[in-house]
Structure 1
């Protein structure tokens, strides 16, 4: 038995879902839209950089699951920034039990986003300061097998993939300020 898929219909549904998740609501400035859409891309390189380690030899199932989960969770959390410019950041989607169709409280979204921006800015800044000082966040010397200690392409790739994380917190803070201003004026 052959199952035929109606490609135009499937493509149409995907396009509608994409727009529902990404299209900005009225009043979103162009810079806020660009900043919000940039956040997942600041996280993507580090998420992709971790994945090959999950499938290298000598890694147990638990570590493998942790690495993959960390990459996926990082992207999901980064994607929530888009909620600050999209309709689902103002009105709960219909798939959310008990809250569907209700307005998202501006203070709840703004406080959680502002705290996230603060934590991310402090965390990634502290990580880079510690890295350049040659220690871990615990104050121990950076291990010899850490990517920044290996040298060559490994170190260059690591920096290329992890430096964008320094932008995550400030971009989230800027989009949060735009969200609060827009919701207050709207």
Structure 2
């Protein structure tokens, strides 16, 4: 007979160190940077008039697949942007309790930093190339349609660099390299 309840997972582990408000804002900005282009593509699927010629809609919406690919691209893009929040939230340091065998354990720093760094590189390349091709595309659109599309895609350029800043901060915060605490240790020991 048990006298006290056994926890399902190891006790909650305290965060490495507090996350400063600027890092939380930068992480949130990644979601805002990727949102306009996702909304624009979703509007294409819904047939919202965006100042594009019908031929442009036909090219983007390949019969059958286009109606599936564009919404999945929008959802995938926002899901990846949402993962950036894990670099400033507790669920980015400790495995959530719904993950079997890992629940409650610390997430190894490389397990978060390596994918985030690769994602930052990919987002930077994706943002620059996609925006470059969008700005230089020979599309059949009204002037306001081109402006709207460019305004929606231009924030993608910021996604990769914002993710890089949060990734570097996460690494420094979790490993203790850099920052005021590490500098204080160097001054005391030096």
CA contact under 8 A between 1:117 and 1:169: conserved in structure 2? yes
TM-score, length of structure 1 as denominator length: 0.74
Gap runs ≥5 in structure 1: 1-23, 135-141
Counterpart among 70, 95, 98 of residue 95 in structure 1:
98
RMSD between aligned residues: 2.1
User: What is the deviation of 1:51?
Assistant: 1.1
Residue 173 of structure 1 corresponds to 164
User: What is the deviation of 1:97?
Assistant: 2.6
Residue 7 of structure 1 corresponds to none
Counterpart among 18, 22, 27 of residue 36 in structure 1:
27
Kindly tell me the number of residue pairs found equivalent between the two proteins. 151
User: What is the deviation of 1:89?
Assistant: 0.2
Is the helix fraction higher in 1 or 2?
A: 1
Counterpart among 139, 143, 146 of residue 152 in structure 1:
143
User: What is the deviation of 1:91?
Assistant: 0.4
Residue 52 of structure 1 corresponds to 43
Distance in 2, matches of 1:80 and 1:105, equals: 16
Gap runs ≥5 in structure 2: 1-14, 48-56, 182-190
Counterpart among 74, 79, 92 of residue 76 in structure 1:
79
CA contact under 8 A between 1:48 and 1:71: conserved in structure 2? yes
SS at match of 1:175: helix
Cα deviation per residue 1:11-65 (whole Å; 9 max; x = unaligned)? xxxxxxxxxxxxx984212211100011111111111101122133865332111
Q: Does 1:105 align with 2:108?
A: yes
Distance in 2, matches of 1:143 and 1:183, equals: 47
TM-score, length of structure 2 as denominator length: 0.72
CA contact under 8 A between 2:94 and 2:107: conserved in structure 1? yes
Greater Cα radius of gyration, structure 1 or 2: 2
CA gap of 1:128–1:67, structure 2 versus 1, over 3 A, is closer
Q: Does 1:122 align with 2:128?
A: no
